Structure 1
C-alpha cells in the first residue's frame, strides 16, 4: 500500500486549487504553533498552483534553497504540511513510522478505492490488514516459483503484440502486460475478455481519482467512483466463486495464487479475513501493478532505446544467459541472479524517472526535527527528488550511469524509489523480477529505435510518455543483415 500513497502527487494540480478555493465549509481547528520556515501560500489555495506549475522537482529544489535543506512548511491539498528533505529526512520518516507518524490518504482517494464501510477508518487499519501476509507472499523465496510463469507470459505477449508489427507504443502495451500478469498471478484469471473488463474499470479509477474531487455526473472523479464500485463488485463475485470451489475442494489448480491463500488465512484471533478486506488488498495490488510497474518497464526500455552502449552491455549479459540454456527453456531464479548489470541499469532508470514521486504521512504527536516543531495533525511529505537528482548524493545527476550501483551502491536513504522502513513497498521484489524478465525477452529479440526522440514526459498517477513511447522494432536477424550490408 505504500505504493498507493505515492500516487498522490498528481492530485496537486490546478483543478484542486480551484476546488479548495470554492469550499465554503472549512474545518475549524485550534491554531498550531510551529517555527518551521516556509510559506502556506494563498488562503484556501495554499501552494497547489505553484506545485502544479513548477513541477515537483523544481518546486522542492527552489524551496530547499530558499527555506531549508532539512525541512520546510507548505500547504497542499488543503493541509498543513512539513516537507522532509534529503537522506536524513527520509531516514527520520521511514524509521519513525508508528511512533510519530501514521499513513494518510485524502478522502478522495479512499472513496474511489475502498468500500464505503472503510472510508472513515484510519488508513493504518485498512492497509495493515494484509500487509504482513502480502510481504510474506512477495518475498524472493516465495516469488521464485513465479519466474517461469512470468517468462512464459512475456514470450506470449511479445509474440502476439510485438512481433507482428514494425512499430509499437511501449507504454500502453506494458500496461496491458503488467495488468494481465497481475490478474494471472494474484487471482488465476487468464480469460482475455475478463482481464480487459477489469482493466477498463481500473482505467476509470486511475483516470479520475486524481482529478478534481467533485462527484457530479460526467466528471472524471465521478467516473473513478463508479469504476471503483465496478471493480469491487467484480472482485466480490470472484471471491464468492473461489470460496465455493475451496469448499468443494475444487481449488487444486488455484490454491497457489494470492487470492486463495488469503481466503484460507486466519488472523491472530483465529478469524478468517473478511471478503471486503481481501478485496481492498487485491485492489491495492492491482492498482500498483497497473501503474507503477508498467511505468518502470516503459522507462527502462526508453533508456535502452536511447543509449546504445548501455543496450550493448545488457544484450551481452542477457545473451550469455540464453546461450547457457536449452532451446525454449524458461528462465529460472539462477538466471535472474546473473542479471547484475541489467538490474543496475534498471535502478538507474528508476533513479532518473521514478514511477512514484513520494508519499504522505500524518503526525500523531508533536515532535522536533532539525530544531523545528512539527505539530500533531500536520501531514508530512517526502519526495524522491530531494535525493535522486541531488549532486550531493549522485554526482552529475542527469547523466545515466548504471555503475553508480556497483559495489555497495548509493548511500543509505538516497535511492528510495520504493520508499523505506516499515512501509517500504512490499512489491519491490515482484517489480524487480517482472522488469528483468521483460528486459531479457525484449533485448534478446529486438533493438529499439525511438520514433519521437524528444517526446515529453507528463505526470498523471505515474510519469507517462506523452505519446506512449513509440519505437521501431528491429529484430536481431534484420539488424545483423543491415550491418553486413553496410560493411560491404
Structure 2
C-alpha cells in the first residue's frame, strides 16, 4: 500500500523557486568524509527529481544502476539526500532491518492530505499506523474469506450493468469504478450509489491534487487535495459516529472492516480513537481506488492482447464455474483453484507494477555493500530495480506466467507488496478482489485489445493513456 504514494512527489520539487543564497546555504560542504555510495546529487535543491520525472522511474533507476552501482547509488530527490537500493539482496537487507537500521518515512506533503486535520502535527507517524499489527490481523485470509461471496455478487452485478450492455469498454475506468464501490461496501458498508459517488468525487480531489506542487493557496490543485482530504475525513467520521450510535455490532457481528477496527486495540490494549480509525480507512480506500484497480486493469490488458494466455485462464475459470450451481457464489476453495490466473496476475504486476517502491529513513549510520549510509539519509527501494532485471528474469520483457509456478522467482526479486514488518496489509484483499473479478469477466467474454501499443505514464500508479479500450465478445455456451 505504501508504494502507492510515491510518484506524485517527484514533480513538486522541479518547479519551486529558491533564492540563490538559500541554495548556497543548503549546499554547504560536509567536513566529515564518509565512503558514500557512488552517484550524483544533481542540481542544487532540485537534485535529480526532474531527471526522474522526465525520463520515468524505470529508465531513471536502470540508467543509474548501469552507471554507478547495481547494489546502491546516491542521489538527491525531494530535497533529501537519498540512497537508492537496487537488488534482491538490498530488498532483503532493508526489510530485515525495519525498526533497527531503518524506519518508515514519507514526505509530509504526501501524507498531509490523507490524515485527519487534528492529527496533522505528526502525519508520517499517523500514516504509519496503517501497517500496525491490528490492520494486518483484520486483513488476514481467515477473516477475509467471509467476504468472497460478497465480492462475487458485486462483481456479477457490475459486469452485468457496466460491461455486458456494451460492445467496447474502457477497462481502466470501469476497474476503478468497481474497486472503489467494493471498497466502500467492504470497508464501511456504504452501498448507495449516490453516497459512493460522493465519496469517489472527494477522493479524486485528493489523488489528483497529490500530483501537484504542495502550495496551499486557493485555486491550486494541492489546496483542492487538502480540501478533499478534509471532506473525506468528515464523511468517514460521520459514518463512524453513526455506527457507534447504532450500537448493534453484538447482534450483527463484524459485518465490515470498520466494525473490526472499532473493536481493535493498539499495542497498549487501548481502543483506537475515531481519528485513528478514520486514518486507516482513508488509506485503505485510497489503495483500493488506485493500486488495486491498476493491478486489475493491466491483468485485463494482457488477457486481451495475449489469446494463448487468455485461453488457459478461461479453461481454469470454466472448470470452477461448471462445478458451481446456477446461483452458487464463489468461496475460498474456489479461489485456491485459481493458481494459473494468479500467476498471470503476478506477471502483470511484474511488468506493470501498480506501486513503484517506497521510502525509509536511516536511524543510524550503517554500512551496506561496502558503502556508508549516514543517519538521517532517506532510502528508496524500487520495484524497477529487480522486476525486469535479467539476473532474476531471463528475457524480462516477455510475458511468461510460468515464472511464478513452483517455487517462483528468486527471493526478494518480486516485491510489489513490499516485505518485512511493513509488507502491505492489503495484499490478500487485493488478490481476492482481482481473482473474483477476472472469474466473472472471462467466463462471460472473450477480450480483444483495441489500441495495440497504448502508452503508459506513471503518476502514483501506472495510467494507460487511452484507458485500455477492449472489445467484448460474449461466449455462447
Aligned equivalents of 1:459, 1:316: Cα separation in 2: 33
Could you tell me the TM-score, scaled by structure 1's length?
0.93
Distance 1:427 1:338 in 2: 21
Corresponding residue of 2:163: 162
SS at match of 1:447: strand
1:17: which partner in 2?
Answer: 14
Q: Counterpart in 1 of 2:340?
A: 341
1:173 aligned onto 2:171: no
Quote the residue 1:486 is aligned against.
Answer: none
Question: How far off is 1:191 after superposition?
Answer: 0.7
Q: Using the TM superposition, give the Cα deviation of residue 250 of structure 1 relative to its aligned residue in structure 2, in angstroms.
A: 6.7
- Counterpart CA distance in 2 for 1:134 and 1:405 is 27
Question: Structure 1 residue 126: deviation in Å?
Answer: 4.1
Deviates more, 1:406-415 or 1:208-217: 208-217
Residue aligning to 1:384: 383
8 Å Cα contact 1:114/1:228 also seen in 2: yes
In 2, Cα distance between equivalents of 1:203 and 1:387: 31
- Shift in Å, 1:325: 1.2
Offset of residue 103 of structure 1: 0.8
Q: How does 1:63-462 map to 2 (within 5 A)?
A: 63-121=64-122, 123-124=124-125, 126-128=127-129, 131-246=132-247, 249=248, 252-253=251-252, 255-462=254-461
Indicate the SS of the match to 2:75: strand
Give the corresponding residue for 2:2.
Answer: 4
1:140 Cα deviation after fit? 1.0
Once the two structures are superposed, what CA deviation does each residue of 1:326-350 show, in whole Å capped at 9, x if it has no partner?
A: 1121111111111111110110000
Report the secondary structure of 2:69's partner residue.
Answer: coil
Residues 46 and 189 of structure 1: is their aligned pair in 2 closer, same or farther, counting only changes over 3 Å? same
1:388–1:414 Cα contact (<8 Å) kept: yes
CA distance in 2, matches of 1:422, 1:39: 31
In 2 relative to 1, CA 84–250 (structure 1 residues): closer, same or farther, beyond 3 Å?
closer
State the alpha-carbon separation in 1 of the partners of residues 207 and 277 from structure 2: 20
The answer to which of 390-399 and 270-279 deviates more is: 270-279
Residue 228 of structure 1 deviates from its aligned partner by 0.2
Q: Do 1:205 and 1:224's aligned partners in 2 also have CA atoms closer than 8 Å? A: yes
What's the secondary structure of 2:81's corresponding residue? strand
| Cα displacement (A) at 1:253 | 3.8
List per-residue Cα deviations over 1:403-460 (Å, max 9, x = no partner): 1111101010001111111111011111111110011000000011112112111111
8 Å Cα contact 1:6/1:360 also seen in 2: no
RMSD: 1.9
* Structure 2: gaps (5+ residues): none
Mapped to 2, the partners of 1:229 and 1:258 lie a distance apart of 21
CA distance in 2, matches of 1:20, 1:374: 29
> Structure 2 length as normaliser, TM-score?
0.95
Give the distance between the partners of 1:5 and 1:312, measured in 2 at CA: 32
Kept after mapping to 1: 8 A contact 2:115/2:126: no
Kept in 2, the 8 Å contact 1:109–1:210? The answer is no
2:13–2:213 Cα contact (<8 Å) kept: yes
Q: Distance in 1 between matches of 2:192 and 2:17?
A: 43
Q: Retained in 2: the 8 A contact 1:178–1:294?
A: yes
1:55-104 CA deviation, whole Å, 9 max, x = no partner? 11111111111111111100000100000011011111111100011111
Q: 1:129 to 1:85 in 2, by over 3 A?
A: closer
Secondary structure of the residue aligned to 1:184 is helix
Contact in 2 for aligned 1:74/1:82 (Cα 8 Å): yes
Structure 1 alignment gaps of length 5 or more: 481-488
- For the 8 Å contact 1:9–1:358, the answer to whether it is kept is no
Report what 2:59 is aligned to. Answer: 58
CA contact (8 A) 1:83 1:382 kept: yes
Deviation at 1:396, TM superposition (A): 0.2
